[in-house]
Amino acid sequence: MITHELSRFSDWQQRAFAASLLSRMWPSYKLFHQHTQFGNADLLFNQLDIIWQQLANSATKFNLEVQLEKLESNTPSESDYDLFVVYPALDFCSGLNCLLQSTVDKDSNCAIEVAQLSENSVQAYLDMRYINEFGERATFEQLSQDPLMQWERDMQLAIVDCLKKNPENKNTCSLLKSLVTDEKLSNLGNPY
């Protein structure tokens, strides 16, 4: 259902949707940085903020090549870390890469890709939790019914609803930011 909605959105709406989800995913990168001292969480937050600024004011410009190089140098390699937090950090970096690229690639499926990355992060987290608690992976039904997965899907629908009801402007950016950050919880439910 959400894929169908996103495919009908304008470029602006798709980028705003992706930026909203990435704002919920960024704390996982920050947590990864705190555990490993790898990367610069503030720099990546600032990159995401550049996108928000561009959404609020289309005259905002940035050098895509420079931003992509910075992102690449702050993207971890999963083979270098034996910690779960590397995976949500990688999902964030992949999503941010897609979002940055979507500023020039108008045929991008960035919103759909970021929605899947965010949901995959939640699923991987739940799988890890189920393995630690019960010694086995979660079933599809357990994943679907878990409150954290339901919250993820509800949040995605709330973002879609906000975008459908509001114009493409600075005020809508503020509404979206409040929607996804007021609880001060990452998409994995971790406080920040």
Residue 75 sits in a domain whose CATH number is 1.20.1590.10
| pLDDT for residue 170 is more than 90 | yes
Q: Is 168 a member of any domain?
A: yes
Put residue 55 in one of left, alpha, beta given phi > 0 → left and psi -120 to 50 → alpha.
Answer: alpha
Instruction: Kindly tell me the number of DSSP H helices and DSSP E strands found in the chain.
Output: 9, 0
Q: Is 186 a member of any domain?
A: no
Confidence of residue 1 (pLDDT cuts 50, 70, 90): low
Q: Is 70 a member of any domain?
A: yes
Please tell me what DSSP assigns to residue 192: -
- Mean pLDDT confidence for 4-14: 94
Q: Is 189 a member of any domain?
A: no
| pLDDT for residue 107 is more than 90 | no
How far, in Å, CA of 53 to CA of 46, rounded? 10
Q: Is 93 a member of any domain?
A: yes
| pLDDT for residue 86 is more than 70 | yes
Q: Is 7 a member of any domain?
A: yes
Q: Where are the beta strands (DSSP E) in the chain?
A: none
Q: Chain-wide mean pLDDT for the chain?
A: 96
Structure tokens at 30: 């920050």
Domain count for the chain: 1
- Mean pLDDT confidence for 41-65: 96
Which residues have CB under 8 Å from 112's CB, separation 6+? 3, 6, 7
This model's pTM is above 0.75: yes
- Mean pLDDT confidence for 158-167: 98
Q: Alpha helices, DSSP H only, in 37-109?
A: 41-56, 64-73, 86-102
| pLDDT for residue 177 is more than 70 | yes
Q: Is 190 a member of any domain?
A: no
Q: What pLDDT score does 105 carry?
A: 87
Confidence of residue 106 (pLDDT cuts 50, 70, 90): confident
Q: Residue 16: which domain range?
A: 2-181
